[in-house]
Amino acid sequence: MPEIGEIAQKVRSKNAGPFWLTVDIFCGGAEAYTRITAGLDDAAVARAFGADPAMLKRFDLPDLAVVKYSLPRPTVQGTAADRDMHGAGWAVLVEEMRID
C-alpha cells in the first residue's frame, strides 16, 4: 500500500487562523484524484490528528483534483503546548498515510 504522498503531487497544511488547521491534498490529476478520494478514510484521518471526527470537514474538489480537510488545530496556535506556529508540519500525517 503506497503512501498518499507517493500518489499525490503535494500535501500541505497551514493555519486557517489560530484555531483551525487546513490540509490540502493536491492530487495532480484525475487518476490520482479518483484513487485518493476512493481510498481516503476520514475516520483514520481524524485519528491521525487526534481530532473529533464530528469536527473534521472534508471538501472534494474535482475541478482542482484537490481534497481538503479542515479541523480544529490539534493545539491552539502559540499556546505552551503548541509545537508548530504555522501548522505546516502536520501535513506529513496525511502525506505518510497508506491507502489502498
Partner 1 sequence: MVRILVPSGALGLGYDRAALAAGVAAGPDLIAIDGGSTDSGPAYLGRGVSKYSRATTKAEWGELMAAQATARVPLVIGTAGTCGADAAVDWLCEITAEIAAEQGRKIRVARLYSGQNPAVIAEELAAGRVTPLPGAPEVSAATVATCTNVVALAGVEQIAAALDTGADVVIAGRTTDTAIIAALPILKGCHPGAAWHGAKVGECGALATTMPNSGVIQIDFDETGCTIRPLSEGARATPYTVSAHMLYENSDPFILHEPGGHLDVRGARYRAMDDRTVRIEGSAWVPGPYAVKLEGARVAGWQVVSLALLRDRRYVAHARDWADGVIARTRAQVEARLGLGPADCAIEIRLIGIDATLGPLEPRPGGAAEVGALAIVTAPTEAQAAEIGKMLNPWLLHHALTEDEPMPTFAFPFSPAEMPRGPAYEFCLHHVLPLDDPMAAFRIEVTEVGDA
Contact 100, 39 (CB under 8 A): yes
Distance separating alpha carbons of residues 89 and 72, to the nearest angstrom = 15
In the complex, least distance from residue 36 CB atom to partner 1, rounded to whole angstroms:
15
Q: How many residues bind partner 1 (CB under 8 A)?
A: 39
Using CB under 8 A as the binding rule, whether residue 6 contacts partner 1 is answered as no
Backbone angles phi, psi at 86, to 5 degrees: -100, -5
Contact 94, 11 (CB under 8 A): yes
Q: For residues 30-89, which are near partner 1 according to CB under 8 A?
A: 48-50, 55, 57, 59, 61, 63-64, 66, 68, 70, 72-74, 76-80, 83-86, 89
Distance separating alpha carbons of residues 42 and 33, to the nearest angstrom = 15
Residues near partner 1 (CB under 8 A) are: 14-20, 22, 24, 26, 48-50, 55, 57, 59, 61, 63-64, 66, 68, 70, 72-74, 76-80, 83-86, 89-90, 92-93, 96
